[in-house]
Amino acid sequence: MKILFLDQSGKLGGAELSLTDVAKPYKENCLVCLFADGSFRELLEQHHIPVQVLATQKINVSKDSTFLASLASISAIVPLIAKVVKLAQNYDLIYANTQKALVVGALASIFSPRPLVYHLRDILSADHFSRTNRRIAITLANRFASLVITNSKATQAAFIEAGGRAEITEVVYNGFEPNNYNIQEANPHQVRQQLGLDGQFVVGHFSRLSSWKGQHILLEALAQCPRDVTAILVGDALFGEQDYVQHLHQQVGQLGLEERVRFLGFRLDIVPLMKACDLIAHTSTSAEPFGRVIVEAMLCERPIVASAAGGVVELVETDKTGWLFSPGDSQQLAQIITTCRNQPEYTANIVHQAHIQAIQRFKLTATNQQISQLLYQVLEKSTQSQKR
Ligand code: UDP
Ligand code: GLC
């Protein structure tokens, strides 16, 4: 099976990291087309996955774009569609991994003609997307996609709630290779020493700096925790959220947390950093579609506290595999952090259970097998309908 993958981003977000894992088994028979250049291209090249950057001009549609702004972006999208139509002649199906990729892929699928699969990794709710963007995504998916893969039940439910056709959806959780999180050379003590974190209870936050990812909630919680509780914020503003970054730095000053918070920027060495933490916090204030960091924390055998909205509640069970708290409730978060600091024996058992479950439930080989089966079904249906 030959697949033409489409992704709008050149940057390394969770959608792109997940797509890398999905594309790996097809590296002899696929092409990943990006609508922007960046470190995502480099990662694909490192894994010998064929990649082509189709556009260098930015498509100016944001998650809250109005109808007019969306229309204005058509001039940037038309040449992309033409390129994808041409490329698609050499592939069996088009696989759109992001919303702008859906727009391009849907229109290209008419002219190629090739079946379209949409891997939906976003919660299509008013919290995350403008009405126009939601309507565009739903209309195109309903009309042109043979299959919509959603990264959680919550993502699937939001798609259906927004008017998406339930019968074309399938839930496939993100997959992870457990061995990648089990590296022995990572020496947590050394990492802690290098970061000046010795003797602290370290809470790690691994996410792009963006207001809905809620780093400000962790800072608020930190101010309510014992003084030896320190946070490392790993990640950068990927999509122009510079105001929020500035706000976080101000908040650190206002709360007097200068000695207790480190901003480490975007890092590729997530595993040693996670292993150097005593607890990982996920703090999104709006529904998280899946939340790779949660499973990664479990695979790194670190306790996880996560914000209970969206797909997260499908990943974590309080007191069994981690702890959930109400989105935005910094007081509750502070209480959980303090309990974990005070009761390491209690935490250890939960970490063990979470590790076992994460290996069982989110195995990359199983995910890829599930996707492969679904794609073969799509191809089969498409061949049958062409014969008719
Ligand atoms: N991540 C990373 N470097 C960083 C911060 C985050 O590689 O500095 C990774 C993190 O380990 C996770 C992904 O980025 O695999 C983020 O995915 P997630 O699903 O948690 O959230 P998203 O940003 O996609 O909404
Ligand atoms: C998106 C979502 C995130 C999910 C990732 C991979 O970036 O925001 O929750 O884990 O896609 O599917």
According to the model, what pLDDT value does residue 62 have? 64
Mean pLDDT, residues 248-255: 98
CB-ligand 1 contact for 11 (6 Å cutoff): no
Distance from Cα 258 to the centre of ligand 2, integer Å: 31
Residue 56, pLDDT > 90, answer no
pLDDT tier at 64, thresholds 50, 70, 90: low
Distance from Cα 13 to the centre of ligand 2, integer Å: 8
pLDDT in tens, 257-316: 999 999 999 999 999 999 999 999 999 999 999 999 999 999 999 999 999 999 999 999
pLDDT in tens, 291-307: 999 999 999 999 999 99
Of 365, 50, 369, 383, residue with least CA distance to 179? 365
CB-ligand 1 contact for 310 (6 Å cutoff): no
Indicate which residue's Cα is closest to atom 5 of ligand 1. Answer: 235
Mean pLDDT, residues 33-58: 92
Q: For residue 313, which phi and psi values (nearest 5 degrees)?
A: -70, -15
CB-ligand 1 contact for 173 (6 Å cutoff): no
According to the model, what pLDDT value does residue 63 have? 64
Pocket of ligand 2 (CB under 6 A): 13-15, 18, 121, 151, 174, 288-292
The alpha-helical segments, DSSP class H, found in the chain are 14-23, 39-46, 67-72, 74-88, 99-111, 131-144, 153-161, 188-194, 215-222, 242-254, 270-275, 292-299, 312-315, 330-342, 344-361, 364-387
∠ CA 275-276-277, rounded to 5°:
90
